[in-house]
Amino acid sequence: MLEKTTRMNYLFDFYQALLTPKQRSYMSLYYLDDYSLGEIAEEFDVSRQAVYDNIKRTEQMLEQYEEKLLLFQRFQERQSIVQQLKDELAADLNKNSKLSSLLDSLEKLD
């Protein structure tokens, strides 16, 4: 469950601009603010089932966006390369500090 929540949070970060305001609100409350379906339903004066259906549809949409655009996958690949670079730099402390500076700059891009 934690893996799904983490994945949804990342997908939401990458693709929230493609969602409707209501979808953004529901996803934000559910995944970021840890509201229950009942709490969200009460907030918007709708049924729990309506909230559940909306969240499930939005999750599917986010997965479809990722399938086509691959923003999260590329982010993960960049993070992996950055970690490999860090490991290599740590292994050879005599490396040029310019490499370390460039690595820090690369990390700030994400």
Instruction: Identify the domain containing residue 27 by its residue range.
Output: 1-68
pLDDT in tens, 36-57: 999 999 999 999 999 999 999 9
Q: Is the pLDDT of residue 33 over 80?
A: yes
Local confidence band at 95 (pLDDT 50, 70, 90 cut-offs): low
Domain identity same for 80 and 59: no
Question: Is the Cβ–Cβ distance between 31 and 12 less than 8 Å?
Answer: yes
Q: CB–CB of 23/31 below 8 Å?
A: no
For position 23, which CATH number holds? 1.10.10.10
Q: Are 82 and 40 part of one and the same domain?
A: no
| Range list of H helices, 1-110 | 2-15, 21-27, 37-44, 48-69, 71-91, 97-108
Q: In whole angstroms, what is the distance from residue 103 CA to residue 22 CA?
A: 39
Mean pLDDT for the chain? 91
3 & 27 share domain:
yes
Residue 28: both structure tokens together: 């934000």
What average pLDDT does range 70-95 have in this prediction?
Answer: 84
Position 93 scores a pLDDT of 63
> Are both 53 and 84 inside the same structural domain?
no
Same domain, 14 and 59: yes
Q: How many domains does the chain have?
A: 2
**Which pair of structure tokens corresponds to residue 18?**
């493609």
Helix 48-69 to helix 37-44 angle (10° resolution) is 110
